[in-house]
Amino acid sequence: MKKIIGLLVFLLSWNVLCAQEESRLIINPGRETFVHFPSATLQDRYTVTFFLPEKAVPLKKSYPVIVMLGVSPQQAAQVQKFQEQHKALVVGINFNAKDYEQYGDKIVSFLSRELLPYVDTNYWTKTGPENRILVAEGKEAARVALRVVQNPQLYGALALVNPAYSWKDGLVPPVRTLVVGEQHDLALAQFVFEQAGKEYGPDFALRYALPVQDLFTINVSYLWALKQDVALSRLKVALSDNKIHVKTPQSVFLRAWAILADGSLFDYIPLQLRFSPPYLSWEPFTGELQIISGAVPGTVRIRNGVDKMPFSVKIKLKKQ
């Protein structure tokens, strides 16, 4: 009898497991979720959710597409709030950090060859790369996304949240890119883009995330704006304190903002600063100004290293 019961339990468990491996479409108001999305490349491993800009399909008009890596059906409320501001078809795929490490090549292939044809065939979308944004959060996701956008015919814009040192592969996106993160994230991104000859505004922009924000805080309007509307207009700078004590120096932090032609405000990391007299040092990866040896009380003028977009501020060195 125990053997028979055991066999029945085994068969029941096997049927449940087999059913789980089947691709299932779950329809909710405002979204369609494919559990084990049918993919020749990824072998039905992942869930793909199509968050609709309307309550149901067929859609009444065409929409742009935003593909978000790492987003699952459980984040429906966040996506809905995001879509209230940005009317778009949002495609979420529940990848995690280990997936990017283990199946990176296959994920790149899936995003490049399988996903977009499916989206454009089954939903009324605005086709063409200028109507598509790829969004990734974290270092491993960013490394995959950077590989995908090397073909600019797929996605016309890229948003990277907390990408850290994802640039180590030497890939610079050929599409407009928004980088969201902490000081070191932005400083490294600014360095990478400037080294590649990219222009702040039309090619890339930076935004602080303190505390670290998520995928749903990205500035979509910037990514879709016309080139002339996002040209860099001017820079402005602020210091956490305009006085530094010479004998017992404290940390003073500098922050710079980029104001674009349309009036939008982003963050800017000056990689080099000029000091007169040269009593201070600047560390862009921490945002910190420090006194160097030999400094004496007086006024130091700080100038940035971008000649075509100058700014100038003064800081007072004084005795404690």
What is the average pLDDT across 275-285? 94
3-state DSSP assignment of residue 308: coil
Question: Residue ranges of the domains in the chain?
Answer: 9-230, 237-258+270-318
3-state DSSP assignment of residue 120: helix
Q: Are 163 and 187 in contact (CB under 8 A)?
A: no
pLDDT score at 167: 87
On the question of pLDDT at 295 being above 60, the answer is yes
pLDDT score at 2: 37
**Half-sphere exposure in the Cβ direction for 168 (13 Å, CA):** 6
- Domain 9-230 class in CATH: alpha beta
- Model confidence at 319, pLDDT cuts 50, 70, 90, reads confident
Please list the residues that pair with 254 across neighbouring strands.
Answer: 239
d(CA 25, CA 16): 17
C-alpha distances in Å from residue 59, one per residue of 27, 34, 88, 123, 316 = 14, 18, 11, 7, 61
pLDDT score at 12: 37
Q: Are 206 and 266 in contact (CB under 8 A)?
A: yes
Higher pLDDT, 230 or 249: 230
On the question of pLDDT at 307 being above 70, the answer is no
Give backbone dihedrals phi and psi of 52, rounded to 5 degrees, phi first: -85, 145
The pair of structure tokens assigned to 186 is 């932005």
What is the average pLDDT across 6-12? 35
The pair of structure tokens assigned to 253 is 């932090």
d(CA 23, CA 2): 34
d(CA 197, CA 224): 21
pLDDT score at 1: 45
Q: 0.75 exceeded by the pTM?
A: yes
What is the average pLDDT across 42-50? 94
d(CA 258, CA 268): 6
d(CA 85, CA 80): 9
d(CA 259, CA 254): 17
d(CA 43, CA 48): 13
What H or E segment, with its residue span, contains residue 91? strand 89-93
d(CA 23, CA 15): 15
CA-closest candidate to residue 222, choices 200, 252, 190 = 200
pLDDT score at 9: 34
CATH number, domain 237-258+270-318: 2.60.40
What is the average pLDDT across 241-268? 91
d(CA 211, CA 181): 9
d(CA 128, CA 5): 58
